[in-house]
Structure 1
Amino acid sequence: MARNNPSPSKAINRSCFTSRVLFGATLAASLYASVACSNTLKKDNSVPLANATLHGDEVIDTPIGEIKLTDTYFDEEASQRLYDEMDFQRASQSYIWAHPMVSVVTQQKRLEEAYGLTSEHDIVVLKSLKEKRGIVTGNLTVPYMFGYVDLKDGPVVFDYPAGATASGFVDVWQRTVTDIGQTGPEKAQGGTFVIVGPEDDISEYEKPDTYTFQSVSNFLVIALRILDPDPAYMKKFKSEFKMGRLGSDLKPFNYIEDKNIEWSGTAPRGLAYWQRLSEIINHEPIRVIDKAWTAMLEPLGIEKGKPFNPTERQRKILLEGAAMGELMARNIQITPRYTQPWWAGTSWYKSYDFNVPQETETKVQLDERTTWFYEAVYSSKGMVNPPVGAGQVYMTTKRDSKGNLLRADKTYKLTVPADVPVKQFWSVTLYSENTRRPYDNGGTELKDVTLGSRSEQLQYNDDGSVDLYIGAKAPDGMESNYLKTVGDDGWFVYFRLYAPLEPFFDKSFELPDFQLVD
């Protein structure tokens, strides 16, 4: 059969498929095109797909038009439509499966381009709003530092300083190989870590007084958050944090900072998404758990050991699959169906709602991790299972008290109760739904996009609560408590609790929903 190159006479039927989900088209337009396409092929004597016998002589009404069986077989044109639909479905789901990898490697590549990281001893320090605005749902309260190591070149050794940090070594699936700092095995007391690659024998490197871990990927992120606000501690940390290849001398890092350069860590759209995925698959070993996915990618032109050079047919399907995959990921993110709000009667969800390994005994937590990694980056034990008085909790909402999605042209009020149960601090940060990065409302200061317990300008109510306003216009006299939204850029927030205390866990502390003001 001519599966990949149907004759010109068949093109009209193939075009029904390829016009369904044009990249950038709205979902409504996509569905309209699909219905219109199906109607052009429909005949009076067809049977619904659910009632089909799939046997003998039969005309079956399907979402891709009618499939005519003659003696249980179908013709080349129907064969091509079925292959097109199968590959479209595979592309859509593969987008969702691959997102953690594509997102984290995109951040690496974009930081290298913008800040000039050229060595495994380079670490970028992000402090200003412009610098942090590149991080997908970046925290705007404490500085971030990122470095990257390729374990293909051999195991690495780290001397990690003592002190108040929330850090980790992270693999290509954005899982912590190990937490470091307050929720690490050294419990913020400092220590020596050895990280070995996926094809190394970890038993060869395990030694007393050393924390030794194995990464499932060659790609390794050094992800650092410094919680101690004292500049003297930051200086001490930089001088004491060292790394080297096993058997070589350990050296301090080169810190690239105060550049104030705009960049974007949001995963790319279109063919660039698949190009990045192809590069990752060629760089990393394939886990057993992922082999079914790599099998589905092969007909799409993404195969280990081969360059990414899709045919015209594959390009169209990949473009459509990426667009539909992102719509599906956004739907899971906005309206998760596998969980319930943290506080009954509200729309507040605990953002990180899955295990660090991203799997249980019976399944991969595909939808759960999609919610997080579509709108955020990185994971750690301190984020998913924070102990009382350590780690972090991230709460999010996309709806107001009436259950309506938050709008950029309206203004809302959030009343934060007095005595938020945290040992360190709490904050509310505004993000764009389009980019999932800190909201670009024209502001130039961190306080233009985030407010919290470390914000000196906040006006508090007599009972110790504080009213925060987010939206198109600040109420008179409340500019100090206001975050601005613009145009039609949809938004959401993270309410962060750093070192949450027991009232959060027993739910005696509760956030109310946003109230529509205007």
Structure 2
Amino acid sequence: MTDSNVSERLITSRVVEAAIWGIPGVNSQAMLEAFTTAVGGGPNQLLFWPRPSDWTNQSLTPNTDALYLMPFYDTSETGPLVLEIPPADDGSIVGSVMDLWQTPLDEVGPAGRDAGQGGKYLLTPPGYKDTIPEGYLLLPSETFQGYALLRSIPASNSAADLDAAVAYMKRVRLYPLATDADGPSADAPFVDGTGVIFDSTIPYDLRFFQSLDRIVQKEPWIDRDRRMIDLLASIGIRKGQPFAPNREHAERLLAGLADAREWLDQQYESFSPFFPGTHWFLPGDPDLMRSWAVSWGDPDHYPADARGVIYYWGFSSLKHAGTGGHQLYTFTTRDNNGDPLHGADSHTLAVPPNVPAAQYWSVTAYDRATHALIREVPVASRSSLESGLAAADDGTVTIYFAPTAPDGFEGNWIPTRPDKDFELIFRFYGVEKAVGDGTWALPDVQTAGARS
């Protein structure tokens, strides 16, 4: 006799697999939806922040020291699009261009294909066969939609230098190839995201599957993903048909999504320590980096699980990992005792002197549940760019994490919320070899106060 629950268990397992596979696309769509509904922008426009982000930028683990520029593209109606990057003369742009699945097409700027000389990157739609005009840097995309994550690098955090970095950022252009001769009149508009709650966190509810359905309806199937056609159809997502789950099926979808989220969370917590004997880790996978480098062209590897883990907590990717500005990010969710970092406690991080970061270092606190900046806190990060950061005589800089500021060290304080667990990212820019050769190490976070 056939077990009547076999079909239900099979569907639940397929929901889990679909969620892990689909999360990079849902992640991309969440950013575009936030740009469209909250900021008032849309496809083939450029979202930017003229000042470092505060908590209203609810994207996944944003860098609060950077000036972000995000061109969102859609070639389905325009045909090929030109993303024009200015030469690195009065400023510098670093970043990468990605398709809908956040597969990197290439880096731009000094660490990219134009090598700081500037250039016209040509984004072509799936299956594009026309002759490519001379003078363009080709970026063939397997999806109609995608985006670029670009950072304009200021010389310092002074108002004048930030203004100069914004002016340089606005030299980036996005326009259809067909209008190249029209000049600036054809350019996509810049849309300012300042002060708007830009919430692109992953929606772990029915919106997750609605987003996945929109992708299936609009985008062509990529050969590597053809096995997902029947799998998605079995859970109600089929090209050319409406996605309309009844209540019972919706409950099954949500149960499977909850299992997928729990699995992703476990994987995120399971990485080996980067600094021996600590809880700092790098949530990356070498097979995934290699797959990005060859645009998933290795027939023996498709690390979709590792990709799911990355886009559960962040966004963006690099085709040439290690060259995109030579940055390194280390993460922690726990203190020296292995306990979760809780916002009601008082914590300290003693950053040793001579941090091996030629440009600068920073440490940023995020909400552990959402991987976004902690809502409604005035300061999310501290960095070596700040002139008011206090240091001990030997150069050690102690950063404080607590609901209230420590007396005399307000400039070294990152506020937390008593009702939230949090996580930290320590970023190295211009990373130097001492980070990885054992001659310099970041210690664990210490918990100094009892939970109230």
Structure 2 match to 1:403: 338
Structure 2 match to 1:227: 153
What do you get for the CA RMSD once the two structures are aligned? 2.2
Cα 1:304/1:119, change in 2 over 3 Å: closer
The residue matched to 1:498 in structure 2 has which SS?
strand
Query: Does structure 2 retain, via aligned residues, the 8 Å contact 1:179–1:185?
Result: yes
What does the per-residue CA deviation read over 1:175-228, in whole Å, with 9 as the maximum and x for residues that have no partner?
A: 221111132111222112111122213x72263x43112112111213221113
Query: Does structure 1 retain, via aligned residues, the 8 Å contact 2:13–2:256?
Result: yes
The partner residue of 1:213 within 139, 142, 166 is 139
What does the per-residue CA deviation read over 1:455-512, in whole Å, with 9 as the maximum and x for residues that have no partner?
A: 2221101111201111344443322211122133211011111221222243422111
Task: Give the drift of 1:342.
Answer: 1.7
Structure 2 match to 1:424: 359
Query: Does structure 1 retain, via aligned residues, the 8 Å contact 2:204–2:258?
Result: yes
Query: Does structure 1 retain, via aligned residues, the 8 Å contact 2:55–2:377?
Result: no
The residue matched to 1:443 in structure 2 has which SS?
coil
The partner residue of 1:112 within 10, 32, 36 is 36
Query: Does structure 2 retain, via aligned residues, the 8 Å contact 1:151–1:220?
Result: no
Alignment of 1:133 onto 2:57: yes
Q: Matches of 1:414 and 1:361 in 2, distance apart? A: 44
Query: Does structure 1 retain, via aligned residues, the 8 Å contact 2:35–2:42?
Result: no
The residue matched to 2:179 in structure 1 has which SS?
coil
Alignment of 1:277 onto 2:215: no
Q: Matches of 2:212 and 2:51 in 1, distance apart? A: 29
- Equivalent residue letter for 2:364: T
More deviation, 489-498/327-336: 327-336
The partner residue of 2:80 within 125, 143, 155 is 155
Structure 1 match to 2:377: 443
Query: Does structure 1 retain, via aligned residues, the 8 Å contact 2:404–2:415?
Result: yes
Q: Matches of 2:192 and 2:55 in 1, distance apart? A: 10
Of the two, which has the highest radius of gyration? 1
Query: Does structure 2 retain, via aligned residues, the 8 Å contact 1:157–1:193?
Result: yes
Q: TM-score, normalised by structure 1?
A: 0.78
Correspondence list, 1:7-406, <5 A: 74-75=1-2, 78=3, 80-118=4-42, 120-125=44-49, 127=51, 129-130=53-54, 133-153=57-77, 154-163=79-88, 164-201=92-129, 204-205=131-132, 207=134, 209-229=135-155, 230=161, 231-238=163-170, 240-249=171-180, 250-251=183-184, 252-257=187-192, 259-336=194-271, 340-353=272-285, 354-355=288-289, 357-358=291-292, 362-381=300-319, 384-386=321-323, 390-406=325-341
The residue matched to 2:260 in structure 1 has which SS?
helix
Q: Matches of 1:259 and 1:469 in 2, distance apart? A: 27
Q: Matches of 1:225 and 1:148 in 2, distance apart? A: 14
Task: Give the drift of 1:323.
Answer: 1.3
- Equivalent residue letter for 1:501: E
The residue matched to 1:189 in structure 2 has which SS?
coil
Cα 1:216/1:370, change in 2 over 3 Å: same
Q: Matches of 1:385 and 1:236 in 2, distance apart? A: 25
Task: Give the drift of 1:406.
Answer: 1.9
Task: Give the drift of 1:83.
Answer: 0.3
Cα 1:318/1:126, change in 2 over 3 Å: farther
Deviating 4+ runs (over 6 angstroms)? none
- Equivalent residue letter for 1:174: Q
Gaps in structure 1 of 5+ consecutive residues: 1-73
Percentage of identical aligned residues: 24
What does the per-residue CA deviation read over 1:347-377, in whole Å, with 9 as the maximum and x for residues that have no partner?
A: 2112344316355553322332233211111
- Equivalent residue letter for 2:276: A
What does the per-residue CA deviation read over 1:103-143, in whole Å, with 9 as the maximum and x for residues that have no partner?
A: 11111111111111146244333635447532210110011
Q: Matches of 2:235 and 2:250 in 1, distance apart? A: 8
Query: Does structure 1 retain, via aligned residues, the 8 Å contact 2:152–2:168?
Result: no
